[in-house]
């Protein structure tokens, strides 16, 4: 494998310049740095991670903490967690382009129990992305209160940066779309109401309905669980039994809608002829349903990319890092599940 000295000789620059280019230092010309990095790549140069860590006091490793149970979104895998998978994919791509590897943080390594913070220390993580967890969990709070640079997804924690889908505006856009289709009796099956995302969406639901002068009976609001079709099925069953049932049901996410769809079909009703429905997230599965689901597509690429950029910036410039809350807009994805009344 090539050495820094050999790269310097080929490029006709000093060893210091090669080091600066490979470490993305700001005090070297853009074109020179680009030429050095291209030459290093052609010569098959890869920095020794252990040596770089000793020299820079950084591992260039970022941890990702995602819930270890299905309660708040669960481990990445399968259609249930496509939303999280998409965010992680874009986050990882951006982090790698910035020179960082990614490691998943858990509480068990080789049979040895450890806290999330201990795992971050064990892997020498420069920073961590935290998403889809129970933020009241003491082990999560221990990590959040540490000195490790962190960015959260869809949750605001004191003095930590966060990237959030603009749930308030997204819900407003979705309601107005349904309203413009002639619907006036809107029901909302929420996720867990203790979760920040649900609080934002529910408040926006009530506020937008108030602006549109729509009455929202208490029985039109049902609590379920994100990504759990059985919970949405039970809530749907209760709504369908109402003497004055809603004309459109809002679901907490596209995957949870499966439970509602099954319940509607079991009741002998058709979507959208007898009742209209909308989902949330805009995962691939939503566009496979027939009829195609009308939903709110969250910009997972932008969420993940932004989170990676914010976290790397916090890692590189810790003294100048000012926590930010960045809201990412979504888009109503028109399908075939909302009838024109």
203 and 160 share one domain: no
160 and 174 share one domain: no
Q: Is the pLDDT of residue 47 over 70?
A: no
* Lowest mean per-residue pLDDT among 10-19, 55-64, 100-109: 55-64
90 and 107 share one domain: yes
Surface-to-core class of residue 292, CB atoms within 10 Å of its CB (0-12 exposed, 13-18 middle, 19+ buried): middle
93 and 215 share one domain: no
The reply to whether 337 falls in a domain is: no
| Three-state DSSP state, 162 | strand
The reply to whether 37 falls in a domain is: yes
pLDDT tens-digit map of 3-36: 888 889 999 999 889 888 887 777 888 899 899 9
User: For the residues of 82-144, what is the DSSP string, one character each?
Assistant: HHHHHHHHHHHHHHHHTT-EEEE--SEETTEE--HHHHHHHTT-SEEEEESS-TT-HHHHHHH
Q: Is the pLDDT of residue 48 over 80?
A: no
Q: What six digits make up the tokens of 225?
A: 């669980």
Instruction: State how far the Cα of 320 lies from the Cα of 175, in Å rounded to an integer.
Output: 40
Q: Is the pLDDT of residue 311 over 80?
A: yes
Please identify which residue in the block is written with the tokens 């027939």: 290
The reply to whether 56 falls in a domain is: no
Count structural domains, the chain: 3
147 and 218 share one domain: no
CATH code of the domain containing 242: 3.40.50.2300
The reply to whether 195 falls in a domain is: yes
CATH code of the domain containing 16: 1.10.260.40
* Lowest mean per-residue pLDDT among 23-32, 40-49, 105-114, 270-279: 40-49
196 and 265 share one domain: yes
Q: What pLDDT score was predicted for residue 79?
A: 41
Q: Are 114 and 136 in contact (CB under 8 A)?
A: no
**Percentage above 70 pLDDT, the chain:** 91
Please identify which residue in the block is written with the tokens 């888009």: 331
Q: What pLDDT score was predicted for residue 59?
A: 72
Instruction: State how far the Cα of 236 lies from the Cα of 265, in Å rounded to an integer.
Output: 11
CB atoms within 10 A of CB 112: 10
126 and 188 share one domain: no
Question: What letters, b where the CB count within 10 A reaches 16 and e where it falls short, cover 23-34?
Answer: beeeebeeeebe
pLDDT band at 57 (very low <50, low <70, confident <90, very high): low
The reply to whether 108 falls in a domain is: yes
147 and 230 share one domain: no
* Strands annotated E in 137-228: 150-153, 161-165, 186-190, 221-223
CB atoms within 10 A of CB 1: 8
Closest to 177 in 3D by CA, of 286, 332, 18, 34: 332
90 and 27 share one domain: no
pLDDT band at 73 (very low <50, low <70, confident <90, very high): very low
User: For the residues of 36-98, what is the DSSP string, one character each?
Assistant: HHHHHHHTT----HHHHHHHHS---EEEEEE-SSGGGT-SS-TGGGHHHHHHHHHHHHHHHHT
Range of the domain at 310: 61-164+300-329
Q: What number of H helices and E strands is found in the chain?
A: 12, 14
130 and 278 share one domain: no
34 and 89 share one domain: no
User: For the residues of 227-242, what is the DSSP string, one character each?
Assistant: T-HHHHHHHHHHHHTS
pTM for this model (two decimals): 0.79
Q: What pLDDT score was predicted for residue 45?
A: 77
């Amino acid at each position: 494998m090539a050495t820094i000295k050999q790269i310097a000789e080929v490029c006709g620059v000093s060893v210091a310049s090669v080091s600066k280019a490979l470490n993305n230092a700001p005090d070297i010309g853009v074109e020179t740095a680009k030429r050095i990095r291209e030459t290093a790549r052609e010569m098959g140069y890869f920095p020794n991670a252990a040596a770089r860590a000793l020299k820079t006091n950084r591992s260039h490793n970022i941890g990702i903490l995602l819930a270890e149970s299905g309660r708040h979104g669960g481990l990445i895998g399968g259609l249930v967690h496509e939303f999280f998978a998409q965010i992680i994919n874009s986050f990882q791509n951006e982090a790698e382009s910035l020179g960082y590897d990614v490691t998943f943080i858990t509480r068990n390594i080789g049979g040895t129990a450890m806290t999330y913070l201990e795992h971050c220390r064990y892997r020498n993580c420069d920073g961590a992305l935290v998403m889809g967890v129970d933020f009241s969990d003491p082990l999560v709070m221990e990590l959040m209160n540490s000195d490790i640079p962190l960015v959260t997804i869809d949750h605001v924690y004191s003095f930590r940066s966060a990237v959030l889908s603009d749930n308030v505006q997204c819900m407003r856009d979705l309601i107005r779309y349904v309203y413009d289709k002639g619907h006036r009796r809107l029901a909302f099956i929420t996720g867990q109401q203790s979760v920040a995302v649900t609080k934002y969406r529910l408040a926006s639901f009530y506020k937008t309905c108030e602006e549109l002068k729509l009455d929202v009976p208490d029985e039109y609001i049902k609590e379920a669980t994100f990504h759990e079709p059985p919970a949405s099925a039970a809530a749907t069953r209760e709504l369908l039994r109402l003497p004055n049932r809603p004309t459109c049901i809002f679901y907490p996410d596209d995957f949870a809608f499966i439970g509602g769809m099954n319940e509607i079909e079991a009741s002998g009703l058709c979507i959208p002829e007898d009742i209209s429905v909308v989902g949330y997230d805009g995962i691939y599965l939503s566009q496979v349903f027939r009829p195609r689901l009308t939903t709110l597509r969250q910009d997972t690429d932008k969420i993940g990319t932004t989170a990676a950029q914010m976290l790397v910036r916090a890692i590189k410039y810790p003294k100048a890092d000012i926590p930010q809350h960045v809201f990412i807009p979504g888009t109503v994805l028109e399908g075939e599940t909302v009838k024109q009344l």
